[in-house]
Amino acid sequence: MEYQKRGSSSYLFSIVLVAVLGGLLFGYDTAVISGAEKGLQAFFSEAKDFTYTDGWHGFTSASALIGCIIGSALSGYLATNFGRKRSLVIAGILFFISALGSMDPEFLFFTYGEPTYSLLIMFNFYRVIGGIGVGLASAICPMYISEVAPSNIRGMLVSCNQFAIIFGQLVVYFVNFFILGDHIQPLVEDMGKGFAAFAPAAQWTVTTGWRYMFGSEAIPAGLFALLISLVPETPRYLVSVGKDQQALEVLVKINGTDRGEFILNAIKETLVQKTEKLMTYGALCIFIGIMLSVFQQAVGINAVLYYAPRIFGDMGMENPMVITVFMGIVNIAFTLVAIFTVERWGRKPLLIWGSLGMALGAFGVAVTFGKAGMEMVTAISIMVYSASFMFSWGPICWVLIAEIFPNTIRGAAVAIAVAFQWIFNFIVSSTFVPMFNMHLTEGDDFGHWFTYGLYGVICVIAAIFVWRLVPETKGKSLEDMTKLWRWKGYVPGEEPHEGATY
């Protein structure tokens, strides 16, 4: 057959398309809270047995991130012992359970529509379950794609996972907007007055709207769980468990006969030692992977994405959801920039320029937020900040984490790196509102400029980190990573040379 000579691009893209559905669910699950959080806050503020404070709301808005930390930490064990494919099936099932449970947390145990402390715990339990699915998908989807993709287009295909994440966020912005319709979101300052303070439309948002938002995720989650069970396991995992023939069949379908056999031999050479310890290739390898994850979150982007409607509302925008949807479209456009340039320009240049663009946007917000007549400058600065992330740290961080580690430690190393990513995601998301609302004196805007000024400084540090320490991986096979880190003379920014000692 012809594909046995050249490989089948349609086969490759079909299995990658299924894998990136996990990224779409990742984006959907993490962004659904942006439209639901005000209605959710108003609902639990009616509880009689406890006081739903800002602290509780911050925890509830970010509780899924606890599951993300757990899921990412488990991803290495599951991916190594059960395979990439089965682990993603588990993630899909968890997404589905979380969607239905978050929509109806009263199921079986509680009175419908009656907010209580116990119901809040159950709601957060379902959100944590979904977070575990996100944590698994966030680590294993890029790993899966990187392990099936040819090296010359690996960066582009892994970047598609980030496109799916942003697309999932955009989809849920539209879904939330559609669900809200002409219903008015409850105003935070009126919550203490109870339901009587809201118009009937707003009461619907408080009692029902947020449920539909969370429940809508069940449709893509069920589809993902079904489709991912139909794709093949990755060749590198199959070789690691002694299924060379099955690995060869997948490699031949993707790359053709000659290239498939060559890649199989290269994989087997790097997997001879299956029990290598995490630090076999040095602490620097693990440190760089961890810090890539830390910086991706520490720059503060997810605080903006999660609280976008609230931020634009505080700026005086009449319909913040419309601006949020527009920002989602901008994010999609600039993610495409990364997809089509990552193999041409490389990973490092995109990260460095993106960091500097984010710094410019963050400093712009810090200087102009809350200033009369400067609302448009603030909005543009937020767009610059977000767009710069989308062509750099958004997709490229996942590309590097998926490909920078040697085969024998990839599962464990990726799990550690992604766990740090979710830890810092939780830290940034849960501290954003308290930092943003800080005041040195009554009525000042200290928290506004401090928060975005801090994010801007971190962006500059991130650019320096990439410039000085991160190796360029453009055009290298995953097996080349073993050679890179085994080079005893490795110096950040340099490449192994002829005659180098390993």
**Structural contact between residues 66 and 426, judged by C-beta atoms closer than 8 angstroms:** yes
CA 6 to the chain's CA centroid:
34
Mean pLDDT (the chain, rounded) = 79
Cβ 57 vs Cβ 306: under 8 Å: no
Distance CA 100, CA 407 (A): 37
463 versus 496: the higher-pLDDT residue is: 463
**74: nearest Cα among 60, 91, 62:** 91
Topology at the third CATH level for domain 7-231+273-486: Growth Hormone; Chain: A; (1.20.1250)
Dump pLDDT digits (tens) for 335-382.
888 888 887 888 889 999 999 999 998 898 888 877 777 777 887 888
Sign of the CA dihedral with 355 first, then 357, 361, and 364 last = positive
User: Which residue bears the tokens 């073993």?
Assistant: 482
> CA nearest 184: which of 42, 368, 18?
42
Residue 246 CA, chain-centre distance (Å), reads 31
Comparing 359-363, 383-387, 473-477, the range with the smallest average pLDDT is 473-477
Question: How far is Cα of residue 396 from the mean position of the Cα atoms in its chain?
Answer: 12
Cβ contact 477:267 at 8 Å:
no
pLDDT per residue over 32-71, tens digit each?
877 777 778 888 888 888 888 877 877 887 788 889 889 9
What pLDDT does 191 receive? 39
Instruction: Encode 190-237 in three state secondary structure.
Output: HHHHCHHHCCHHHHHHHHHHHHHHHHCCHHHHHHHHHHHCCCCCCHHH
Residue 295 — pLDDT band, cuts 50, 70, 90? very high
What pLDDT is stored for residue 352 in this prediction?
94
Query: Amino acid letter at 304?
Result: V
Residue 165, pLDDT > 90, answer no
Average pLDDT rounded to a whole number, residues 73-96: 90
Q: Which two tokens stand for residue 313?
A: 């509302």
Answer whether residue 128 shows pLDDT above 90: yes
Does the pLDDT value for residue 497 go beyond 60? no
Which pLDDT value is given to residue 114?
A: 85
Token pair, residue 408, equals: 């024998």
Lowest mean pLDDT among 140-144, 152-156, 456-460: 152-156
Instruction: Check residue 460 and give its pLDDT.
Output: 95
Grade residue 428 by pLDDT with cuts at 50, 70 and 90: confident
Say whether pLDDT at 483 is over 50. yes
Instruction: Give CA–CA dist 72/423, Å, rounded.
Output: 10
Q: Which of 271-275, 411-415, 484-488 is predicted least confidently?
A: 271-275
Distance CA 432, CA 137 (A): 25
Instruction: Report pLDDT for 318.
Output: 60
More confident residue, 123 or 163: 123
Average pLDDT over residues 242-249: 86
- Give the highest mean pLDDT range of 82-86, 207-211, 234-238, 413-417: 82-86
Region 279-293 average pLDDT: 83
**Domain residue ranges of the chain, discontinuous segments joined by +:** 7-231+273-486
**pLDDT score at 186:** 54
